[in-house]
Copies of this chain bind each other. A is one copy, B any other.
Amino acid sequence: MSSVDLTVPPLSDRKVSILEAAAALFAKYGYAAVSIRDLAREIHTTPAALYHHFPDKGAIYAAALRHVFSDPAKALETVLKGDDAPDVALERLIVWLTQQFSDNPVLARLVQRELLAGDRDRLSLLTEDVMAAPFREIERLMHRLAPARDASLSAASIIALVMGYVQLTPVLEVLTGERNTKQHLRDFAAHAKDLVLHGLLAQPQPGAHI
């Protein structure tokens, strides 16, 4: 389906430590702004040593993406797999999503940078490794919660709402003078739950074409 090689040979400890440092740097500064020498300095080695493990800079970035993107998809299932009532599951989901985006800035920033870069192959990787499984689970929950709605649109709206809000946090701190980001994000999660719950349970406006 995708042209990206998804078969991942097991990584040595050394490679993992390289990729984790690389992911952190690329997430923070972007691909072009991180040099091989920067990365080598970060893990106390030399540029040439990196070329013993990877053929070039692009391969380091691609492997770092795969390494970071391979983890998080599994975690969601434990969040949603319980047979809670839909509204309870929705609350758990939104809290989990909010924490995921705010507590894992490396993943969140790499996702944002990939969305900005727009490379087709790497977007497929992002879609399949990170987005697909959570999206399908959220779609199922949305179908249970509001069968009359377009579940895809509802699921995408939830992800968009949480991702966008976490991105806006620094601007909101300036606009509202809010300082306690942790509490602020908890308030947002409660607000978002209410918004989605009541917004989707109200009967849809049929044929309301804009």
Q: Which residues of chain A have a CB within 8 Å of any CB of chain B? A: 29-33, 91, 95, 109, 112-113, 115-116, 118, 123-124, 126-127, 131-132, 135, 149-150, 152-154, 156-157, 159-165, 167-168, 170-172, 174-176, 186-202, 204-205, 208-210
Contacts and interface: CB of A to CB of B under 8 A. Distances in A.
The A contact surface, by secondary structure, is: helix
A27 to B, nearest CB: 9
A175 B136 CA distance: 9
A191 B186 CA distance: 25
Contacts of A201: 198
A176 B131 CA distance: 12
Contact of A167 (B109, B160, B197): B160
A92 B202 CA distance: 21
Contacts of A116: 30, 109, 112-113, 116
Contacts of A172: 152, 156
Contacts of A112: 112, 115-116, 167
Contacts of A95: 210
A106 to B, nearest CB: 12
B205 A167 contact: no
Most chain B Cβ neighbours within 10 Å, of A109, A164, A202, A208: A164
A124 B160 contact: no
A123 B167 CA distance: 12
Given A109-B116, A150-B187, 16 more contacts: A112-B116, A113-B116, A118-B170, A152-B175, A153-B188, A156-B188, A160-B160, A160-B167, A161-B164, A163-B168, A164-B165, A186-B210, A194-B199, A195-B195, A195-B199, A199-B200
A65 to B, nearest CB: 14
Contacts of A191: 149-150, 153-154, 157
B152 A176 contact: yes
